[in-house]
């Protein structure tokens, strides 16, 4: 039953890096081992895990072949994470629709 007193939880956004860290921990594999399995450098894996870089379609597909984790899921996690970061960094443009930059329809415009 809906209750107005229930608080809406803020949506938590995670990146593919978080999921990869969990998988690596579960299977007890190193960055070097994962890198060798997917055909990339350990430095590239380190950058991805530290969110200095994000997955591309090729790496996501290779990770899917090795781990079974959907490449679409991995790419979606990274995309949502980057959008969340961008939203945090925006200078509140259009907040509450009071900004002069917020789009509005003018009375003199006809359809």
Residue 6 lies in a domain: no
Spatial distance between the Cα atoms of 33 and 12, rounded to a whole number of angstroms: 29
pLDDT at 109: 63
Instruction: Give the containing element (helix H, strand E) for 51.
Output: none
Residue 2 lies in a domain: no
Q: Which residues contact residue 1 at a Cβ distance below 8 angstroms, ignoring those fewer than 6 apart? A: none
Structure tokens belonging to residue 46 = 């380190």
Residue 100 lies in a domain: no
Nearest to 37 by CA among 73, 63, 68: 63
Question: pTM above 0.85?
Answer: no
pLDDT at 3: 58
Q: What is the pLDDT along the chain (111 residues), one digit of tens a residue?
A: 455 566 655 556 789 999 999 999 999 999 999 999 999 999 999 999 999 999 999 999 999 999 999 999 999 999 999 998 888 877 555 455 566 777 777 777 666
Range of the domain at 67: 16-89
Spatial distance between the Cα atoms of 18 and 68, rounded to a whole number of angstroms: 16
Spatial distance between the Cα atoms of 71 and 75, rounded to a whole number of angstroms: 6
pLDDT at 22: 95
CATH of the domain at 30: 1.10.260.40
Number of independent structural domains in the chain = 1
């Amino acid at each position: 039953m809906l209750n107005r007193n229930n608080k809406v939880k803020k949506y938590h956004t995670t990146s593919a890096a978080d999921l990869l860290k969990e998988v690596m921990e579960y299977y007890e594999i190193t960055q070097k081992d994962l890198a060798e399995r997917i055909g990339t450098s350990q430095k590239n894996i380190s950058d991805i895990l530290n969110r200095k870089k994000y997955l591309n379609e090729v790496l996501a597909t290779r990770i899917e072949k090795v781990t079974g984790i959907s490449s679409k899921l991995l790419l979606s996690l990274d995309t949502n994470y980057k959008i969340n970061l961008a939203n945090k960094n925006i200078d509140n443009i259009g907040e509450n629709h009071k900004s002069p930059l917020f789009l509005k329809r003018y009375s003199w415009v006809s359809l």
